[in-house]
A and B are shown apart, each in its own frame.
Chain A
Amino acid sequence: MSTSNIATTVRSDLPILRVHETGTRALIYLDSAATTLTPEPVVAQIVAYYRDVSASVHRGKHMLSDIASTHFEQVRSDMASELGANTRDIAFVPNTTVGLNTVACGLRLSADDLVIVPIDVHHSNLLPWRHRARVEYIRLNSRATVDLDHYAQLLRRHPRIVSVSHCSNVTGRYAPVAEMARMAHDAGAIFVVDAAQSVPHGRIRLAETEADFAAFSAHKMLGPTGIGVLFGRLGELSPLARGGGTVDWVDLDGERLRDSPHHLEPGTPHVAGVYGLGATLDYLRKLGWQEIARHDAELAGELYRQIAQRPHMVSLGGTDAVDRAAIASVRLPPGVDVDEVARLLSDSYAVMCRSGKLCAQPLVEALGDRRPVLRISAYVYTTTEEIRTAFQAIDEVLPMVGASMAAR
């Protein structure tokens, strides 16, 4: 499938892009790094679960529970195949944040343990560590990716954990995770990857990164909210929560935990979410991971080309689009209220993009001037024409809010 065909195909499954209530303008959705749109086949599978099955998994012997369990485990198998992992390595979690907390809790860190993280990590990949151990920060280089020399220096302090963002949700830059994993392992550290922004864009073979643990969310890759995947040596993790579903045996004296990954899946899981995740995986696989990555590169190229043509905007992490997802965060001219710009783009131009500090406040403040930024993030349904239209809208809005268009 050619890259232009990808967007056409996906858009035909997104009624939200065909009809929009704010007027005659078609919706341009550029907040995909937060949550993506959900195509009809995924919605249909979620509805099918509630309509035709509804039962919980791994509980009863009745037929509906068996059907649900079979499908649930089939999705796990499919996911394992796609990641290059095995099924014992895959747990279903509510989202990336819970996945990373499960790792941070499950490794039983002590306050003396050292965790090192690059400064570009999402809060969800920072706070779980900071509340359990000492955290030190890896500096970024001029391209806003990890400074490998500084990383090597920090590794000499014998960290227990290295945890990184595979792809920054602010700059769209990919970290050299395979190289970093090798360095971490050489130093005896466990390597953890926040893959929330990388897997959706085609970097699916997590097992090849040599990460010990990684997590990502379905809702950033056309899937439903409330379901994500934790990948890794799950048998080494003690559970974040205990209860039904996590044990093989309970008596008055104790309990015996179930084998991995079930010991990390307490309570009735989000079965409909897993149905939706399965449909999502099938949908993306049908588009083709390489084609998705190519389309993303094309979008990133257009995104940064547009920014480069506007000297009054400052892109966090520079304007080259090499090895970068279609995610860009820009600092607008001084005096401009970025939240107001985002609201105007939405309500007057039907362009949805994100403003704020993007749950990565240390990075935004380090690369910026402490003010919130405007983030434009595209996905498989986005066209380069939409990106151009969005920037034209920004061009119209900025003078209206008093922005100086001089170069910065």
Chain B
Amino acid sequence: MSLRSHTRDAQLLMPTDALPRLREALSYAYHNTKLTRDKFDAVGVLPQNIRDSPDLAMVPATTRAEYRREFPAGVLAGGATLHDPMVVRSRSSGTAYERLLSADYSYTLAERRLGALAANPPLLRVLADPETRRSVRYAAPNCSDVECALPQTTIRDRILPNGMLVLPAAHDLYATSTQMLRQAWNEIVDWRPDYLSCDPTRLAHLLRYLDHDDPQDIPGRALVMTYNFAPAFATAYLRRRLPTGMTVANSVTMSECGWVAVSCPHGTLHLNTAELWMELVDADLAPVAVGEVGELVVTSLGEPLSPRVRYLTGDLYQLLDGCPCGHRHPAVRFEGRWRNAPVCSDGSRMSMRELDDLIGAPEHLVSYRFHQHAPDRAELRYMSSTGNVSEWEHSMRDRLRARLGKVCQIVIDVTAFLPAERSGKFVTCTTAVS
């Protein structure tokens, strides 16, 4: 699975003192959930066989599809129901075969958030401040269980119990009506949030719309860029637009795992190993080395409701060699979804982040979408503030072909519109090649 070949040096992400919690979690999952028991039994492994970190390799991984099929009876711990008032039920933003229902106790989600935020004390101070009562969420409609895409919903319909206002958002980002953009901004102003939790591409689009004729300062003490991959064109725009003094961080959250990673004040992403047992693995489920890209596999620690065991997240991360902040949570770089990574002629995959690095954030670039139709055919469509930029197109074609392979024909075209996925997420890179 690694995108580039590096020297193989198995890297354990977890501190040794987490091992007792892992053993306890495996035992609990085995004795309380059908899915885990069936998977262990299928390979003749018992929880007590897992004595050390490498032994975990004996445990089969759990796929999203398996989790979906077994939910809830096969994955909730014996006796638990979805009816418990402490249970938070989540619907993932995925559609069709990517969709997923999951459940967690609200307090375990809070613990995971707290564990992740240990890597970013300034952000933690804002989010944990008793004075922080109001926030806004601006993301694809499917990223919340609130029908924010329906025009008749009122602000009252979209306020969550924790004081978070879900802003109105159209399914198709760049087809959002100006009326809806204006409504979202007015609600931000009216709600006076202490912090914002936003899909960076969506927020950048909103600010561009405002900047066109009515630039305004963004309220709030912090911005958490989350829900979606953060492309350079969006983060560059936001950096220019955000007020100085605002705390800005990236976080990766999953409906089925909560807060998986958060960036430190240096901007480096750190995996939340405080509450989750993390592995970064290649296609053979072997650990990847520093510098390599692997899929994140998660085992929940201390999860009483719906324990996950070696859950394949489908998300790719590059393992970094530490971070200047010195925090003990492993430093990584989020690379995007595995299934979206185009396949190159040398058999390797180009991650969404690698593509984004190639494209960068030139001044003219408003947004882009790359799609690989076939191994030898791809297209890059981009929205531009200055019309088509031929020189940049030539240079991009050369750089993309150098990575994807000389046989790949790449159409590059400027456009006024780029479609989002039906989930409402705008994805900068997709492939039809499996």
Q: Which residues of A contact B (CB under 8 A)?
A: 63, 66-67, 69-71, 73-74, 76-78, 80-81, 84-89, 207, 235, 248-249, 256, 259, 282, 285-286
Contacts and interface: CB of A to CB of B under 8 A. Distances in A.
Contacts of B155: none
A80 B417 contact: yes
Nearest to A85: B417
B152 A248 contact: yes
A86 B150 CA distance: 19
Grouping DSSP codes into helix (H, G, I), strand (E, B) and loop, the A interface class, with mixed when no group exceeds half, is: helix
B95 interface: yes
A84 B416 contact: yes
B184 interface: no
Contacts of B283: none
B352 to A, nearest CB: 18
B96 A67 contact: yes
Interface in B132-162: 150-152
A286 B373 contact: yes
Contact of B420 (A66, A67, A71, A77): A77
A293 to B, nearest CB: 15
Contacts of B374: 286
Contact of B172 (A67, A69, A88): A88
Contacts of A81: 381, 415, 417-419
A277 to B, nearest CB: 15
B274 to A, nearest CB: 35
B411 to A, nearest CB: 9
Interface string B163-201: 000000000101101000000000000000000000000
B377 interface: yes
B416 A207 contact: yes
Given A69-B422, A73-B422, A248-B150, A285 B373 contact: yes
11 contacts: A63-B96, A80-B417, A81-B381, A81-B418, A84-B415, A84-B417, A85-B416, A87-B175, A87-B419, A207-B416, A256-B151
B327 interface: no
A91 to B, nearest CB: 13
Contact of A69 (B95, B152, B377): B95
Interface string B377-390: 10001000000000
Contacts of B422: 69-70, 73-74, 77
How extensive is the interface on chain B, given as a class?
20 to 34
B99 interface: yes
B96 A70 contact: yes
Contacts of A256: 151-152
Contacts of B152: 248-249, 256
Given A248-B152, A249-B152, A80 B419 contact: yes
A84 B381 CA distance: 10
Given A63-B96, A69-B95, A81-B381, A86 B172 contact: yes
A9 B404 CA distance: 25
Contacts of B177: 88, 235, 259
A78 B420 CA distance: 10
Contacts of A285: 373
Interface in B285-330: none
A40 B421 CA distance: 27
Given A70-B422, A81-B381, A81-B415, A88 B96 contact: no
A5 to B, nearest CB: 14
Interface centre among B96, B152, B377, B421 (most CB of A within 10 A): B96
B50 to A, nearest CB: 34
Contacts of B420: 77
B433 to A, nearest CB: 13
Given A80-B417, A84-B416, A66 B96 contact: yes
A66 B415 CA distance: 29
A67 B96 CA distance: 4
Contacts of B415: 81, 84
Nearest to B147: A248
A71 B418 CA distance: 17
A73 B97 CA distance: 15
A76 B416 CA distance: 16
A328 B353 CA distance: 52
A74 B371 CA distance: 13
Given A73-B422, A286-B373, A67 B417 contact: no
A286 B374 CA distance: 9
Contact of A282 (B99, B373, B419): B373
A78 B96 contact: no
Interface centre among B95, B174, B417 (most CB of A within 10 A): B417
A87 B99 CA distance: 23
A86 B421 CA distance: 13
Contact of A66 (B95, B381, B419): B95
Contacts of A70: 95-96, 422
Contacts of A259: 151, 177
Contacts of B175: 80, 86-89
